[in-house]
């Protein structure tokens, strides 16, 4: 991509921040308790699912009382947001590789991105599944996901448009639609494999996703 700092593609589904809820200065003890609750919530959510988990399961896991939960959160929804927030770093910055421009082609960048994305997804599979679930249940999270998808869609759309202008990608495609479609494709692939456990071979997955992207956009194999 030469002189641009925009990475060619970004595939992260991204998790979510939103509102830092009950944001208080927090004493050291408070911070510890809150963190314990968030960690416990992740464990319980992943074990029982969002719907089937009871608040008391979370507090039991965090070894605190029910009341304490409400010191830091005011609903299941809110802890869930906190869990996502706490996991964001891993999902949002999936070690986007800094490929040496001189040695990498567009294809290599795309492949590296896919690999990083799939790896992050695999690491957080349970959580991703949870997010899918909650997004289907709670309109707030659904909207959050949609917005985030849009942001990534637009970012990749710009990258695609850029390639098109430089004659390096199929000019007949609508950049935004193509972007949304291909992002969705990779997301679905990851969901099926890591969340549903379809269990395809990891490298083959990266390879297929990359080939389909490259083919779909008719990307010309030229050094990045």
Mapping DSSP onto H, E and C, the string for the chain reads CCCCCCCCCCCCCCCCCCCCCCCCCCCHHHHHHHHHHHHHHHHHHHHHCCCCCCHHHHHHHCCCCHHHHHHHCCCHHHHHHHHHHHHHHHHHCCCCCCCCCCCCEHHHHHHHHHHHHHHHHHHCHHHHHHHHHHHHHCHHHHHHHHHHHHHHHHHHHHHHHHHHHCCCCCCCCCHHHHHHHHHHHHHHHHHHHHHCCCCCCHHHHHHHHHHHHHHHHCCCCCEC
Q: Does 31 bind its own copies (CB under 8 A)?
A: no
Sole binder of DNA in the list 17, 39, 43, 68 (CB under 7 A): 68
Output the smallest distance, CB 143 to its own copies, in A. 9
Residues 53-72 that bind its own copies (CB under 8 A): none
Sole window of 22-30, 77-85, 160-168, 174-182 interacting with its own copies (rule: CB under 8 A): 174-182
Sole binder of DNA in the list 20, 32, 201, 203 (CB under 7 A): 32
Site string for its own copies, 153-172 (x = CB under 8 A): -----------------x-x
Q: Which residues bind its own copies (CB under 8 A)?
A: 51, 132-133, 136-137, 142, 146, 149, 170, 172-174, 177-178, 180-182, 184-189, 192, 196, 198, 200, 204-205, 208-209, 211-212, 215-218
């Amino acid at each position: 991509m030469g002189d641009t700092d925009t990475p060619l593609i970004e595939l992260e589904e991204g998790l979510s921040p939103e509102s830092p809820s009950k944001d208080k200065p927090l004493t050291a003890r408070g911070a510890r308790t809150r963190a314990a609750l968030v960690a416990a919530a992740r464990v319980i959510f992943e074990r029982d699912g969002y719907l089937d988990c009871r608040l008391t399961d979370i507090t039991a896991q965090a070894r605190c009382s029910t009341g304490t939960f409400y010191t830091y959160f005011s609903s299941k929804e809110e802890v869930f947001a906190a869990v996502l927030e706490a996991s964001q770093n891993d999902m949002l910055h999936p070690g986007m590789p800094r490929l040496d421009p001189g040695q990498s082609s567009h294809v290599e960048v795309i492949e590296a991105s896919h690999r990083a994305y799939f790896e992050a997804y695999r690491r957080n599979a349970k959580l991703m599944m949870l997010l899918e679930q909650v997004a289907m249940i709670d309109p707030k999270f659904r909207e959050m996901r949609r917005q985030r998808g849009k942001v990534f869609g637009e970012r990749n759309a710009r990258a695609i448009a850029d390639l098109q202008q430089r004659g390096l990608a199929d000019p007949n495609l609508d950049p935004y639609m193509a972007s949304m479609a291909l992002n969705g494709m990779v997301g679905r692939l990851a969901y099926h494999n890591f969340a549903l456990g379809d269990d395809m071979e990891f490298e083959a997955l990266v390879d297929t996703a990359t080939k389909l992207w490259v083919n779909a956009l008719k990307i010309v194999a030229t050094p990045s």
